[in-house]
Amino acid sequence: MGDKYIAERRSEHRMIATAPDLIIPPGSKVPVPCITYATLDTATQTANHTRGNGYPLFISRSYVPHCKGGIPGGKGVISGTWNGIYYATEHSDSVRVEGDWAVFHDHKGKGNG
């Protein structure tokens, strides 16, 4: 696992979209591509007692309630939301933390879900 860092609830750890979120700005009918991201310092349902570098671990049940980026007041073409939640859709299949799966660097996730 050499460079596979475990996700922790802190601002230096982020989930970043690898494809643009298509947002329809207020008063427009033309979608605009936007890159969204979330910092893990606002994550909820993180590990209660297990920490990495002093920070609670971001695990498979964790999510970030609001992402950043996009156009204020706009709505996603598919989701109908703007700056919704971010959560992991991939996780370790061998490392458990407090009964849930650990999330590491490069695991995929979903935003505005």
The b-or-e profile of 67-90 (16+ CB within 10 A means b, else e) is: bebbbeebbbeeeebbbbbbbbee
Distance of alpha carbon 67 from alpha carbon 15, whole angstroms: 9
Whole-model pTM?
0.86
- Domain map (residue ranges) of the chain: 1-112
Query: Mind listing the pLDDT tens digit of every residue in the chain (113 residues)?
Result: 456 799 999 999 999 988 888 999 999 999 999 988 999 999 999 999 999 999 999 999 999 999 998 888 888 888 888 888 999 999 999 999 999 999 999 999 988 76
